[in-house]
Chains A and B, each alone.
Chain A
Amino acid sequence: MGKTLAEKILSLKSHGEAEAGDVVIADVDLAFVQDTTGPLTIRQFKESGFGALAKPQQTIIFLDHAAPSPAQQLSNDHILLRRFAEETGCRIYEVGEGICHQLVAENFANPGDIIVGADSHTVTGGALGAFATGMGSSDVAVALALGKTWFRVPESFLIDLKGVFTRGVYAKDLILYLISQIGADGANYKALEFGGEALAQMTMSQRLTIANMAVEAGAKVGLFPGDKITQDFLMEYGRGDNYKPLYPDTAANYEKVIPVNLDQLEPMLSLPHAVDNVRPVTRVKGVKIQQAFIGTCTNGRLEDLAVAAEILKGKKRHPGTRLLIAPASRQVLIRAIEKGYIQSLIEAGAAILPPGCAACLGLHQGVLGDGEVCLSTANRNFKGRMGNPEAMIYLASPATAAASAIRGEITDPREFT
C-alpha cells in the first residue's frame, strides 16, 4: 500500500512500517525550546534524572519570545537557559538572532527529519519536508534525554493546490482561506499534506507561511514534499548535501482531499477572536486600525518585507496608525537592509524592531491599549494574545497590513499593487 509523507517519514525514523493509527517510537533529529517554554523543560529534564543530553548538537535554545527581555523575571529565565547551554553543550541562539522557526528553517530542517519543539508553531519546518511538530515541556524534556519520542501516526488530508496567486493575493490568504474551510479543530491530530501542480511555483517563503499555520486548523504537521524548490533553498543556505527528494506514494491513502484553486482566492482576513473567523478583505474594509504589525514566524521573511516595502515606498503611514516591523531573523534584516526595504519602511514611518517574536504574544514591543485594533501578520488573534483582552486583532498578509497602515483602516491591498 502507498504511503503518505507522514507515514514515510515515521516509517523511516521508527525503523519499521508506520501506518496511520499506529503508535511508534521515532528518532528525533532536532529538539528545541524557546525562552518561555525552556525553563520548565529544563527543570523537567533535570527531574528526569538523565543528566546528559542525548544529542547536544541537535538540541537548541532560542531566546526569541522576550527578546530583549522586558522584565527581570524573564531576564533570570534567560540566565537559567544560558547556564544550561554551558553545562550541557547544547546550542543557543541569543537575543537578536531571530525567531526559532525561522532559524530552524535557515539552518537545520531537512526533508525527512523529525523535529520537536516546545512551541506550537514548530510545524513551520514542514515547509522543508520535515516532520516538525510542537510539544509541551515534558515531551521535549524526554526527547532531549532519549533522542526519541512517541507518535501516533496521523491520518493525512491532501491539500491539492492548482493555479497561481493573482495580484495582491499571497500564501497568507491561502492558509487563512484553508483554515476557514477546515475549521480551527477540523484537522485535529491529522497531518496536512500539500501537493498539486501549484507547488512548482511556490517559493520556500510561501511554504513556510502555510506550514506555520497548519496548527491553527489543529494539525500535527503541515508537510510539503522535498522537491526542486527545497533543494534550491538548502543550497542557498549551504546544506545542499542534506537534500533528498521526498514525495508521497501515488497510491497513498488520504482521509480527505481538499482542492484549492489559487486563481480564485482573494485577500482574506481573520477577525477577532478566532483564527478560523475568516472573511474576504472586501467585506471588512474601513475598520480603523491603531497598529499594523508586520513580522513573526508567519510573515517576517524577506519576501514579506519586500511586498510591504513596495507598497509603502514613497508613502507615509496614516498618522493614527503605528507601523511595527520585526524581521524574522538577523539574516532577513541584513538582506532587507541591502535591498533597501528597511530604508523604504523607515521613511514610511515604520518602527523597526529587533529580529524576534516582538509584539506577537503580548509580552513587549507593541502591547495594545484598551479598545485598540491591530492588523497583524501573525498567526493568532485570540482574545488577549497581544497582551490586552480589551483589544482586537485581525490577521492578514503583509500586503494587506501595509496598505491598511497607509489608510489607517483595513484596506484591500489590490488598491496599491
Chain B
Amino acid sequence: MPDLVLKGKAIKLGDNISTDDIIPGRFAHLRSNLPELARHILEDTAPEFASRVKSGDFLVAGKNLGLGSSREHAPVVIKMSGVGAILAKSAARIFFRNAINQGLPVLLCDTDKISDGDELEINLTGGMIVNLTSGFTLSCSKMPPIMSAILKEGGLIPYIQKHRDFKL
C-alpha cells in the first residue's frame, strides 16, 4: 500500500506524452525482461529522465499523459524508476487505469503551478498537494471509490488476491 503522505521532487514533462514516448514500441522484445526494458524509459522524449530520477520523485506532466497504446509496461517502468506518484493536468483513460492497477498514484491537478525541481508534499487521502518550494496548495480531482480501493491495496492484482472479486 502506498504511503498516505508522499514527499519528493518534481520532474516536469510536457503535454501529450504517449505510452510510445514512455517506452517505445521498438523495445517490445524486452517486455519479458522488465529491468532491461526499464533502462529505456522516455529515451526519445526526455533522455535525461532516467539519470535524474530518484526514489520518491514525482513525474509531473501536462495534459493527456499516457495517450496511445494500452501497454501497461508504461506505468510499470515509471514505477520501477522509483517515481512515487504521477501528477498531470489530464491523463488518457487506459494509462490512468493501468497506473492505479500498478499501485502507482495518479493525481489530476493544475500542474502549471509546479515547476521542475519543486519540492512537493502530497496527501493521498485528502487529494491535496503542497508545493513546498512556492507555497501553493493544489487540490486534485477525486477518483471513483473502486479505484481508491485498488490503489489502497497496492494495485489490482493484490486487490483481487485479497477480495477475489470486485466490491463496489
A406–B168 alpha-carbon span in the complex (Å):
57
Specify which chain A residues have a CB less than 8 angstroms from the CB of B16 in the assembled complex.
Answer: 184-185, 274
Known: A25-B168, A137-B72, A141-B157. A384 touches B92 (CB 8 A): no
In the docked arrangement, what's the CA distance between A383 and B70, Å? 17
Is the Cβ of B32 less than 8 Å from the Cβ of A185?
Answer: no
| B residues near A152, Cβ cutoff 8 Å | 144
Chain A residue contacts of B24, Cβ below 8 A: 362, 384, 389
B73 at the interface (CB under 8 A from A): yes
Partner of B161, one of A48, A137, A382: A48
A402 → chain B closest CB, angstroms: 26
Q: B28, A36: Cβ atoms under 8 Å?
A: yes
Bound CA span A367–B26, Å:
9
A148 to chain B, nearest CB (A): 7
Q: Is the CB–CB distance between A380 and B94 below 8 Å?
A: no
B148-168 near A? 1/0 per residue, CB < 8 Å: 000000011100110001101
- Given A138-B98, A138-B102, A145-B160: A185 in contact with B31 (beta carbons within 8 A): no
Structural contact, A77 and B31, CB atoms closer than 8 A = yes
A37-B68 contact in complex given A139-B156, A185-B63, C-beta closer than 8 Å: no
Chain A contact-residue range equals 35 or more
Q: How many whole Å from B99's CB to the nearest CB in chain A?
A: 9
User: In the complex where A47-B157, A48-B160 touch, is A23 in contact with B144 (Cβ < 8 A)?
Assistant: yes
A387: chain B residues at CB < 8 Å are: 25-26
A74 contacts B by Cβ under 8 Å: yes
In the complex, chain B residues 1-31 whose Cβ is within 8 Å of any chain A Cβ: 16, 18, 20-21, 24-26, 28-31
The B-contacting residues of A in range 145-173, CB under 8 angstroms, are 145-146, 148-150, 152
| A218 and B32 form a contact (CB under 8 A) | no
A382 touches B21 (CB 8 A): yes
B72: chain A residues within 8 A (beta carbon): 37, 40, 118, 136-138
CB–CB A146/B20 < 8 A: no
Most buried by A among B29, B33, B76: B29
Question: Which residues of the other chain, B, contact A73 by a CB distance below 8 angstroms?
Answer: 29-30, 32-33
**Chain A residues with CB under 8 A of B67:** 184-185, 218
Task: Write the chain A residue with the least CB distance to B102.
Answer: A138
Please determine whether A383 and B20 come into contact, CB atoms closer than 8 angstroms. yes
* A192 CB within 8 Å of chain B: no
Q: Inside 8 A of A80's CB, which chain B residues have their CB?
A: 32
Q: What residues of chain B lie closer than 8 Å to A37, measured between beta carbons?
A: 70-72
Size bin of chain B's contact surface: 35 or more
Collect the chain A residues with CB atoms within 8 Å of residue B90's CB: 185, 188
B contact residues around A72 at 8 Å (CB): 29
With a cutoff of 8 Å between Cβ atoms, the chain A residues found around residue B73 in the complex are 40
Residues of B within 8 A of A47 (CB): 157, 161
B45 interface residue (CB < 8 Å to A)? yes
B44 at the interface (CB under 8 A from A): yes
For residue A65, which residues in chain B have a CB less than 8 angstroms away from its CB?
28
Interface status of B64 (Cβ within 8 A of chain A):
yes
Interface membership of A129, Cβ < 8 A:
no
* 0/1 string, A278-305, CB within 8 A of B gives 1: 0000000000000000000000000000
Q: Does A314 belong to the interface (CB within 8 Å)?
A: no
Cross-interface CB contact of B64 among A49, A218, A384, cutoff 8 Å:
A218
Residue of B whose beta carbon sits closest to that of A383: B44
| Residues of B close to A36: CB separation below 8 A | 25, 28, 31, 71
Interface mask (A75-100 → B, CB under 8 Å = 1, otherwise 0): 01100100000000000000000000
Q: What are the residues of chain B within 8 A of A74 when measuring CB–CB? A: 28-29
Chain A CB within 10 Å, residue with most, of B26, B92, B146, B156 = B26
Does A361 interact with chain B (Cβ within 8 Å)?
yes
Q: When the two chains form their complex, are residues B101 and A138 in contact, meaning their CB atoms are under 8 A apart?
A: yes
List the 7 shortest-distance A-B pairs measured between CB atoms, nearest first. A136-B98, A136-B72, A185-B64, A138-B101, A389-B44, A73-B29, A71-B29
The 7 listed contacts between A and B (C-beta, < 8 Å) are: A74-B28, A120-B94, A137-B72, A184-B67, A185-B90, A382-B21, A383-B44
Name A residues whose Cβ lies closer than 8 Å to a Cβ of B. 23-25, 36-37, 39-40, 44, 47-49, 65-66, 70-74, 76-77, 80, 117-120, 122, 134-139, 141-142, 145-146, 148-150, 152, 184-185, 188-189, 218, 220, 274, 361-363, 367, 380, 382-385, 387-389
Residues of B whose CB lies within 8 Å of any CB of A are 16, 18, 20-21, 24-26, 28-33, 44-45, 63-64, 67-73, 75-76, 90, 92-94, 97-98, 101-102, 144-146, 155-157, 160-161, 165-166, 168
Contacts beyond the supplied A65-B28, A139-B101, A185-B90: 7 A-B pairs with Cβ under 8 Å: A73-B33, A77-B32, A141-B157, A142-B160, A145-B160, A150-B168, A363-B28
